Amino acid sequence: MNVNCRYDPRIADRYLKLPVKRPVSICLPIILPGSLFFIFLAGMFEPSGDMKWVIPVARSLIQRGDLNIDEYIAEGEQIDFSVEPVRGQYYSIFPYGVSLIAVPFVFIVDRMVSSVESVRIGSGLRVVSDKGIERIAASFLMAVAALLVYWTALRRTTTIKAVVISLIFSFCTPVWSTATRALWQHGPSILLLSATLALLAYDVKNPRLVPWSGMTVAASFLMRPTNGISLAIITAFVFIRHPRKSGWFLLCLISVIGPFCIANLVIYRCILPPYYMPGRVGTFVQFPEALMGNLFSPARGLFVFSPVFLFVLPGIALLLRRGKFQMLHGCLLAIIMLHWLVISTFRHWYGGWCFGPRFFSDMVPYLVFFLIPCLDCSFSRFKNKLMYLVFWFSVMVSLFIHARGSLFWDANLWNARPVNVDQDPGRIWDWGDLQFLRGLVEPPR
């Protein structure tokens, strides 16, 4: 497929006929995230069993100054997979970095809201409902992430196209159908990786913001261990590409990683929590299936749920053709490829109960970055007219699919009916029972 295009700003302006005035440009950083926040908030809430302790841990930090959840576990109560005992105390097995992000939301809501619905946890203990806080936090974090994506794109294209890139990021990817539905690890991860990319790409010739990316990429590792790939490669990138900034970068990185390691030594007697241990990945029995499944499975495939990402490769080709493929692009591509390999070694590579490619959602900021050249072409003209039509068709299909996941329960109940997907993972390959069409098309009996 010919991906060459001739980009002419004059053609783009005539095509748009929507000149962006300076007052609008000034207001966009407020209007864009504000609008997205309320749209995200209006979506369907998806309870996440994995994340049920995020808010309680944040509340424990505020009220007791610790990370354990002893106050929520009754004496003699049988604990589930999400809790692990450590020297007589109970901790969530999942990364506590997400709870750190949630602290300001819990603090504000607990003090502003005096009467909320209560929910039952464990054997009779009652706490303030966490659902509202999760929805507010998840929606707010993704609205800010969308603003960061807008700023990143704005350094490389026009205002209108930067807004479009931000909207593709928000509504045509797992950001809408996964990261805004509950306070998974993926939402804070996406936010921090978006911030890292924004800082690195802000100004290549004058990288004054590069050191701060050490703080954001290190914080992303606290949210999700697979972000260790970004941490390693971006650190190498800064040391090679910006050696004069590497000292300050390292200082910012250590300011986050240092306290993280100290806290782990105090709690676990190890610099990393058990959740970060290599034993959680490295299962190669299903590796070939997982490699294909993470891209093309009808229930978990990245290109099935977000076909717009098929244009990442043409985007790379356009960068190479124009001589604009930079070292940063190479690093992002390497991170995406390694992330794909790592998540494919996980035994539950399909992500359990979720909608679409949950494990790939962390890479959305990087993937969207490679769509900017294609958007430039689509706003002027592709040499291949078919390419133009296919690009915008893929955007609309991606929007439809993630709207199904965000707004309709039926698509999420696919995980349970007719058989629990964890009990019958073969359903992941069933093209006759597409998850995003559940509720529109009757499932096979």
Concatenate the DSSP letters of all residues of 368-420 into one string.
HHTTHHHHHHHHS-BSSHHHHHHHHHHHHHHHHHHHHHHH-HHHHHTTTSSS-
Residues recorded for the chain: 445
Coil, strand or helix at 233: helix
Residues in contact with 156: Cβ distance below 8 Å, sequence separation at least 6, in sequence order? 201, 372
The residue written with tokens 């794109």 in the block is 153
The Cα 192–Cα 275 span in angstroms is 20
Please give the pLDDT value at position 23.
63
Please give the pLDDT value at position 247.
95
The Cα 287–Cα 295 span in angstroms is 13
Count of C-beta atoms within a 10 Å radius of residue 425: 18
Is residue 345 within 8 A of residue 290, CB to CB? The reply is yes
Any idea where the domains of the chain sit in the sequence? 9-43+136-409, 53-129
CA geometry: angle at 249 spanning 247 and 253, to 5°? 115
Please give the pLDDT value at position 11.
43
The Cα 299–Cα 314 span in angstroms is 25
Coil, strand or helix at 365: helix
Mean pLDDT per 10-residue segment, the chain (445 residues): 52 44 72 94 74 91 92 74 88 94 92 53 47 90 97 91 96 95 94 97 81 97 97 97 94 97 95 88 82 96 97 94 93 98 92 92 98 80 72 96 92 89 91 91 71
> Crossing angle, helix 372-379 and helix 385-407, to 10 degrees?
120
Please give the pLDDT value at position 376.
80
Q: What is the pTM of this model?
A: 0.90
DSSP classification of residue 243: G
Please give the pLDDT value at position 13.
44
Residues in contact with 57: Cβ distance below 8 Å, sequence separation at least 6, in sequence order? 67, 69, 92, 96, 99
Burial of 200-231, coded b for 16+ CB within 10 Å and e otherwise, reads: bbbeeeebeebbbbbbbbbbbbbbbbbbbbbb
